[in-house]
Structure 1
């Protein structure tokens, strides 16, 4: 769907990181964790392209927003890294943005009874919160492993804990949680009966995928990529599939075939 959304709140959580809540049509309530939206900041020519953002949360309207003319809200997490996100950070309650949503393929929640392990960092935690919410609604056991360069990259841990998610944190400089990479904290907890869901920087996903393969654990990864269209038309976000060779190319569109993939579907360096 393409629709106009009204900004309800736009809060800076940590230096450079924001959480935005917007109105949404009722149909968005059927979106799946791992799907994303394409957002156009304003009606100007510059910036021309929409920006992709994972759905952090989708929910029924809160009483404090009664009268806004919408029944559902959606939220995103984003980091200010360029012109588009800088303009986004300046929006306030009542401003309008243009959205395409929901897009892409979401997470397969897997069978009940498994231990669900979520791995992410920075804005990569966005789709994992929506996923954790759905898993806890099913009564699943969920653990979160969050990593970042420092404490400023660790977002919304309290929200995960309120859901009843057991959380582990690692930072490169040791300013929050254990010192080191999040994969170091994760490895001792991998065992048969575990299923991994990961989202974050490609090097982290690469490491998590290799650990999952070594441990024989199912693993889904939500990939990040630059996108122009979000619907598989521009082919600007392609990745190499596991069977890719120069003789027999195997490319996957992150926007249409993903952004969630089984880690065994992709070719990792």
Structure 2
């Protein structure tokens, strides 16, 4: 759906990172964990920017103009370029254009004997919160988050995950929070000591996702990954966000469109750098 959203809040939560809450039509609350929106602030830059849906709900405060309660959703974003810098300047009451929710989200597995391990790097934590909330609500097995970043500042909204009852493990490259090193090392150590089964869900930089995919494949564990990609349209028309599928080669091209077929894929369907 295409709509104009009003900003309720737009606050810095960590150096360079912000959390924005926006109004939404009531139907938006049917969005699935892992889906995203395309947002536009003004006419320059021309192209919309993709953002994962971090959280959503319905406010307790009635919206008299709309004749009922007001729906809302939240996005996390990192200020890295012209579009996000402009978004960071927007204040409460300003309006931005939204297209969404879009894409294919995470599929929650129903095996109650599996632990659910969520792996996020930096802003890749954004699509994992709704997934964590859904898993905690539907599953009896433990839900654990493995959050990684270069420094403590890259570990976002851990308190929100903890309030859900999610067990949080952290790793930073500089050792400023949790274990020192890559989050995939912490994940590997945990899996090596885990007597039962697990399902993996991940979002973050390509290198991290490739490592998680290999870890899952070596252990024959189910794994879903949410890709971060530059997008122009968000609906599969421009094909600017295609990635190679598992069977891709120069002789037999196999491409997957991140915005239309993803952004969430079974890790085994994609081709990862060796």
Q: TM-score, normalization: structure 2?
A: 0.94
Distance change in 2, residues 1:71/1:99 (3 Å) = same
User: Gaps spanning 5+ residues in structure 1: where?
Assistant: none
SS at match of 1:71: strand
Q: Deviations over 1:125-153 (max 9, x none)?
A: 01100110111111442000000000010
Give the RMSD, CA atoms, in angstroms: 1.2
SS at match of 2:262: coil
Q: State the shift of 1:61 in Å.
A: 1.6
Aligned length: 266
Q: State the shift of 1:247 in Å.
A: 1.2
What is the match of residue 238 of structure 1? Answer: 242
What is the match of residue 104 of structure 2? Answer: 105
SS at match of 1:84: helix
Contact 2:110 2:139 in 1 (8 A): no
- What is the CA–CA distance in structure 2 between the aligned matches of 1:77 and 1:11, rounded to whole Å? 10
Q: State the shift of 1:245 in Å.
A: 1.2
- What is the CA–CA distance in structure 1 between the aligned matches of 2:147 and 2:158, rounded to whole Å? 8
- What is the CA–CA distance in structure 2 between the aligned matches of 1:6 and 1:123, rounded to whole Å? 23
- What is the CA–CA distance in structure 2 between the aligned matches of 1:68 and 1:134, rounded to whole Å? 31
User: Gaps spanning 5+ residues in structure 2: where?
Assistant: none
What is the match of residue 178 of structure 1? Answer: 179
SS at match of 1:159: helix
Q: State the shift of 1:228 in Å.
A: 0.3
Q: Which of 190, 193, 197 is 2:197 aligned to?
A: 193
Distance change in 2, residues 1:88/1:68 (3 Å) = farther
Question: Is 2:271 the counterpart of 1:263?
Answer: no
109-118 or 237-246, which moves further after superposition?
109-118
Q: TM-score, normalization: structure 1?
A: 0.96
Runs of 4+ in 1 over 3 A off after TM superposition: 65-70
- What is the CA–CA distance in structure 1 between the aligned matches of 2:237 and 2:206, rounded to whole Å? 23
